[in-house]
Each structure stands twice: as C-alpha cells, then as structure tokens.
Amino acid sequence: MNSRTSRRVAESLVILLAWCAAAAAQPAQRPDIRKLSQHFIDARDSSPWHFVPAGNIKDVSLSEHRGLVTLREAGKGQDIKGLLKSPLRLDDYPAPWEFHLGILQNHLGQKGLSEKQINYAIGLNLAVTFSDPKTWSKDRSKPPADLKSLQLFVVHLGSIGENYRLGIPAVRRTPLNMGDHSPEVYMFYGRGDLAPNLNGNWKFPYSWVGPDPSDAGTWSKRGGPADTMIRFRVSLLSPTSLQIGAGYGDHPGWRMRNVDVSKFGAITGIWEIGPIISLDKWIPSVLARDLKLNETPAWLEAFRKRQKVLGKGDADKSTLDAIKKSLQVEPPDPRFGYYIDYATFHANGPADIDQLSDEFNIPGFLADRKFYVEGNGICETHSNPGHMTVTLFGHNSSWAMCPILRAGAVDFSVRKPPFEIETSFIAPGDAAAWNLWWNVGMFDKAKKFHQWQPGLKFIPGKGVRFFDLFNVEPDQVSRNRELNLQFAAGFPKLPAGGKPIGMLIQIPDKDHLRIGFRTDARSPWVFSESFDAGRAFGGIAKFSYPCLVSFTGRGVGGKGWGSGNYPGFQKFQIDYVRFRYGLTK
C-alpha cells in the first residue's frame, strides 16, 4: 500500500468514525411538521385536512381539478374553513417554522362573467391560544377562552367583464382601485383581534391596462391581489413573535408584517391554521361599511329630494329604491367556486436546515417557498417537470438562490456534523461560458470568516472546470489558497449540458470538509482530498449561509460572456437541493 492510498484509507476511516460519533450525539427526533403538508394531488385523500361546516359546503372535490381543492358553498351564510385534524402544540412543533397557503382566484370571477357583482374574500385563517394544552377541549367547536385570531383575505368587489357591467360604481377612479376606470377593486384585507396592526386594507398595489380614460372600463388587472395565483405565509419566529405575509404569482418575494403577541403571553398552541372563505354577512355589512361603499351617493339623495319637492316622490319611489339597491354591496354569489392549491409546513431553524431541502417535483410549486430568488433569471417548475428551471435573461448580471433560514449560518453547536449539501442539475450546454457555484464559507471559534466558493465553470474549448474562488473572467479558474482542495485521482469529465451533474459538499466533522462530483445518480462520487480545518484554523464552528449563484458577465462596466438572449437563453435545470445531517455512503 503506497502513501497516497494509506492517506485516503485513513481519511475514509476518520469520516466513518466521525459520522458514527455525531449520529449518536444528535438530538431526539421531534414530530416532523412537514407531514401536515398537502398539495391535494391524491384525489382520494386530503388528510390531515378537512373542511367545515358541512352544512354550508355544497360540494368539495379533489378530482374535479387535480392538485386543487374545489369548493362550492351551499348559500347558508357561514364561513368555510380548512382545518387540521388536531390543534398544534408548540411543545410538539417548536418555533421557528413556516406555513404557506396557495389559492387560485376564480378566473371566471376575475373575468366578470356575471350581470351581478362578483364579491368574494378567501385567504388565511390563524387562531392561537396561550393556555395550557391540558385544558383544551377535544371538541374543536369549543375553543379556549383566550383564543385570538386573525384572517388575511384577498378580496374582489364589483365586476367589469368583456362588456360594461354596473359592478360597484363607487370604487371607480378612486385610490381604492388604483385609479382604474372599472367598477371593481382588488385588495388584501386583514381582520381579527390578534394583531390590530394587520387589520384593514393593506394597500398592496396592482396595475391595470386599457384605454385611458374610458367609461367602459379597462382590459385587465395584474399583480398583487389581482393576480390569479395568490400566496399567504405565516412565519412563527418564536412563541411571542410572528410574521404574516402575502405574495402573488411566480414573482419572488413577499409583503410581510410583524406581529408581537407578547402582551397576551407566550403562544402554546395553534388552534386553527389554514384557508378561510368569508361567506357570512361580513362583505356586504362590515367590509362595505368600513370602505364606505354602501353610502347613498349625494346625487341620488339630491334627486330624491328634488322629486319630493316636485310632488313626484311617491311615483318614482320604487325606481329610486331600485337604483339605491343596485349600488349596495352584495353578498358572495354561490355560483362561483373557490380553489385551494396547497397548504404546506416546514421548520427553518438553525437545527432544521434539512427541512429547506426541495426536490422541485410539484409543478407550479415555486422556489421562493423555501428560497430567496433574486437577480438575472426566472425560476419555475412548469416547463421541465421534476426540475426547477432557471432561465437567465442573457445580459450582464447575476442570479442567486438562498434558503430562507432563520439564522445567519448553520451553527454546529446547535446540531453537530456530519452535514452535507447536495444538488444535481443539467447545465446550459456548450454554446457559451457558464458557471454555477455555492457562495459559502466557514466561521472558526474566534468568529473569523474563511471564504469558500466551490463550483463549476464551463470554458469553451477547455470543458468543465472546478474552482473554489470565483472570478468574473469566463476563461479563468481561481483557487482558494487556504483550502487548496485537490483531486488526487483526477477531476472527472463532466458534461457541459444535456446530462445531469451531481455536486456534493461534505462536512464529516467540525475539523474536515471535502467536495465531490458525479455525472449521474448511478455513478460513484469523485471526491477531493479532505481539508483539515482543525489544523488550519481550529475547526468549523459555523458554516455560512449557503447560496447557489451564477454570473453572466463581469459586473458594472464590464462585458458579458456571449451567453445571449433569444435564441440563446441559458437554462439550468435543477433537479434538487438537499441539506442533510448525515453522510452519503
């Protein structure tokens, strides 16, 4: 056995022993909050979710539109809620964790296919308690006395359609509907006693297009609460602190608001969380009053008084009453159905970064549920099912995707190694230079930061190359002098496009790390030699916030790399991103 072989055997033994020791030291497993998630794809099963009250549900279907819950009301004037089988005890599911709710607005409602008003409110319901779980009733209809709740709705009032309809004239050309000429309005609107700062109109803008000015209304509305795809989010940061937010479409990002509930105490349980449809008298009575939409117009009251002076009041009373009634806000129209897309949970604390992993295997469920997506690209899961496709715009810029982690780094004092980051992707091809890399690094015990940027760069004419210190020149590879990882057996030949590439960062213990690559899921990993962080700077205390990055140029004032736009859009098809406590065999 030569010295190089002996060293590699020794390294493998160190990794195996480290894994065994660390696995034994991991904290006891808690219930996995992800098991409460539903994408409603199985037409036979919505568990652990159900919908109440049964008396106001005309029908509920998982098969009518696969991947959606389709709900129709029975017109009994009761709100419909989606509920979990049981309340959530924070002792079982401690903070921090996330809940995400997706709904689709009824497009026929948005299109205005009705001579009546098309008024609806659907959104997020959250009810929490601060009482001892031992005192909770097993009857869900008997909530704890200290229950506090909030609801955040996407609201649509009025109508326009392809031809002019009356809708709600009072909202036309007002700040409420963004100055739109149409007699309809969209908004996010909050209510409840948990967080008064969330109540009322969130003033989340949207845009409209069409002739300006126009008495016949405008063509279409886009963005914000007018988008077909609406997203809601609850971030439980601690037992006294939450964030509530809304987003829309495939546009990344959220409008978030903070909620401090410390004046009530510490949350002990989530009594209700999920979708809610407002079907009682809230829209025509409370919401219309708050928005001042049911007030009789001054011109109508003046005309009524004028008719009375002229002695025509009794003759025209029925006509004037009919006009007044037509201007009042109506309750929801039972003919229009409601669609719920998904209701998902995941933890996101420093010990639970593994729950931010994503297989990207649900078409339409987008990356920014678990990742911040920013920069020079569009991310979607429609065009290549089973992958998140990143389409770069083709100009001089950059793109990045970072996990939404409630911590600045992976803290190995909270949960110890072994730890891995694995991804698999199909690269853009050999038409132009490309790169994909992890922007990471390590903090030692003295809190000193050690930068590391491992990844791959395709250089036309030279193939795919490894680097661990990024530079903006498309034909140059830079290496990290401190880590200086080497591939003793030679670096594998990797495809420039068309076939998958696997990339694996491995931290077997706080003193070592290495990186590996492979060409497909059946191929063995080709690892670099192990870097001894313990010897170099005393070991890894924290592994910094891991962001996946790609550049297409040299930055401000620099030149692009020829990646191009049409017909040369560069695309990365990312199969998965996995954060894992443990070691790949």
pLDDT in tens, 453-465: 999 999 999 999 9
- The CA distances from residue 165 to 117, 169, 253, 299, 583, in Å, are 9, 10, 34, 20, 63
Whether the per-residue pLDDT at 165 is higher than 90: the answer is no
Q: How far apart are the C-alpha atoms of 240 and 262, rounded to whole Å?
A: 5
pLDDT tens, position by position, 15-53? 333 434 443 444 456 799 999 999 999 999 999 999 999
Residue of 489 and 189 predicted with greater confidence: 189
Whether the per-residue pLDDT at 292 is higher than 70: the answer is yes
Identify the pLDDT of residue 14.
41
pLDDT tens, position by position, 360-414? 999 888 757 899 998 889 899 999 999 999 999 988 999 999 998 888 889 999 9
Do residues 128 and 270 make contact, with C-beta atoms less than 8 angstroms apart?
yes
HSE-CB at 505 with a 13 A cutoff on CA atoms is 25
Summarize the confidence of residues 146-174 as an average pLDDT.
91
Identify the pLDDT of residue 13.
43
Identity at 543, one-letter amino acid code: F
Q: For the beta carbon of residue 421, count every other beta carbon within 10 angstroms.
A: 24
- In 57-119, beta strands by DSSP E: 57-61, 69-73, 80-84, 88-89, 97-104
Identify the pLDDT of residue 313.
65
Residue recorded with tokens 């899921």: 521
Cβ-based burial of 168 (10 A; exposed 0-12, middle 13-18, buried ≥19): buried
Whether the per-residue pLDDT at 210 is higher than 60: the answer is yes
Closest CA to 247 of 199, 206, 200, 201: 206
- The CA distances from residue 577 to 290, 359, 408, 505, 546, in Å, are 46, 7, 19, 12, 11
Do residues 415 and 581 make contact, with C-beta atoms less than 8 angstroms apart?
yes
Q: Which of 250-254, 261-265, 526-530 has the lowest mean pLDDT?
A: 250-254
3-state class (DSSP) for residue 196: helix
β-partners of residue 332 are none
Which two tokens mark 459? 């250089």
Whether the per-residue pLDDT at 10 is higher than 70: the answer is no
Tell me phi and psi for residue 313, to 5 degrees. -60, -45
Q: How far apart are the C-alpha atoms of 157 and 152, rounded to whole Å?
A: 16
Identity at 464, one-letter amino acid code: V
Whether the per-residue pLDDT at 300 is higher than 50: the answer is yes
CATH architecture of 3-27+351-581: Sandwich (2.60)
Closest CA to 472 of 569, 377, 561: 561
Burial 279-306 (b: 16+ CB within 10 A, else e): beebbbeebbeebebbeeeeeeeeebee
Whether the per-residue pLDDT at 497 is higher than 90: the answer is yes
Q: How far apart are the C-alpha atoms of 214 and 211, rounded to whole Å?
A: 6
| Residue length of the chain | 585
Maximum alpha-carbon separation in the chain: 116
Identity at 585, one-letter amino acid code: K
Helix (H) or strand (E) holding 346: strand 338-347
Q: Is the pTM of this model over 0.85?
A: yes
Spatial neighbors of 239 by CB under 8 A, at least 6 apart, are 90, 95, 266, 267, 268
pLDDT class for 326, splitting at 50, 70, 90? confident
Summarize the confidence of residues 260-267 as an average pLDDT.
97
Helix (H) or strand (E) holding 452: strand 449-452
Q: Which of 214-223, 231-240, 270-279 has the lowest mean pLDDT?
A: 214-223
Which two tokens mark 564? 């191009």
Whether the per-residue pLDDT at 278 is higher than 50: the answer is yes
pLDDT class for 154, splitting at 50, 70, 90? very high
Identify the pLDDT of residue 369.
83
Torsional sign, CA 48, 51, 52, 54: negative
Tell me phi and psi for residue 338, to 5 degrees. -125, 145
Tell me phi and psi for residue 435, to 5 degrees. -155, 150
Q: How far apart are the C-alpha atoms of 89 and 87, rounded to whole Å?
A: 6
Residue recorded with tokens 């008298």: 281
Do residues 497 and 427 make contact, with C-beta atoms less than 8 angstroms apart?
yes
Cβ-based burial of 364 (10 A; exposed 0-12, middle 13-18, buried ≥19): middle
pLDDT class for 241, splitting at 50, 70, 90? very high
Identify the pLDDT of residue 314.
67
Identify the pLDDT of residue 15.
35
The rounded mean pLDDT for the chain is 90
Identity at 232, one-letter amino acid code: F
Torsional sign, CA 257, 263, 268, 273: negative
Identify the pLDDT of residue 114.
87
- In 360-411, beta strands by DSSP E: 371-375, 377-380, 388-392, 398-403, 409-411
Spatial neighbors of 165 by CB under 8 A, at least 6 apart, are 112, 114, 115, 159, 183
3-state class (DSSP) for residue 516: strand
